[in-house]
Amino acid sequence: MPIKTLKNFLDEHRVRYVTIRHSPAYTAQEVAASAHIPGQELAKTVILKIDRNLAMAVLPASEHVELGVLRAAIGADLVELATEGEFAERFPDCEPGAMPPFGNLYGMRVYVAKDLTKDDVIAFNAGTHTELIQLAFEDFARLVQPDVINFAAETVQ
C-alpha cells in the first residue's frame, strides 16, 4: 500500500496529519473538487529534469510551473518536464501521477512555489488516486527542507 511508507515517516516524526479518501481522480483540479479542497491548498507534484537530474516542483493545483523562471532562479542550464518513463521506477510504491511531494523519501531535490507557503495547511496525493494527506505546511517544510522559489503562475482555464 503506497500510503504506508509516507504515514510511517510522518508518524516517526510525530507529525499530525489527516487522511482524506475521495473518489478516483487524476488531475489536480479533479482531486481538489473530489476532496472538496480549494485548489490553492492542494499541492501538486510535478517531476522535472534539471540538468539531467530528477527533481520535484510542488505548487498549488491551480497553478503551473514556469520552466524558464525556475531555470533562471536556480541557475540551471536546462529545466524540462520529465516523462513518466523517466521517473516511474523511482516511485515503485506510488500509482503513476500520484507521487507525494516528499522528494527526501525518493532521493530528489524539492522546489516549492512561494504561493504554497501562504497556506497554513496543505493537502497532497499520498501515492494513490484516492487518498490525500493533509498537514501543516510548517511540518512539510521542516521534514522536506525544500527550496522556496517564485516559479508558478496561475493556470488559465
Are 98 and 129 within 8 A, CB to CB? yes
Residue 109, strand partner residues: 55
- % of the chain surpassing 90 pLDDT: 69
Q: How many domains does the chain have?
A: 1
pLDDT at 23: 81
The owner of cell 516517526 is 12
Residue 7 sits in a domain whose CATH number is: 3.90.960.10
pLDDT at 1 over 50: no
Separation between Cα atoms, residue 132 and residue 71, nearest integer Å: 29
Residue 143's H or E segment, with its range, is helix 137-144
Q: Which domain holds residue 128?
A: 2-154
pLDDT at 36 over 50: yes
Q: Which residue, among 45, 53, 50, has the nearest Cα to 113 in the 3D structure? A: 45
pLDDT at 157 over 90: no
Rounded to the nearest 5 degrees, what angle is found at the Cα of 12, between the Cα atoms of 8 and 16?
Answer: 85
- % of the chain surpassing 70 pLDDT: 97
pLDDT at 81 over 50: yes
pLDDT at 103 over 80: yes
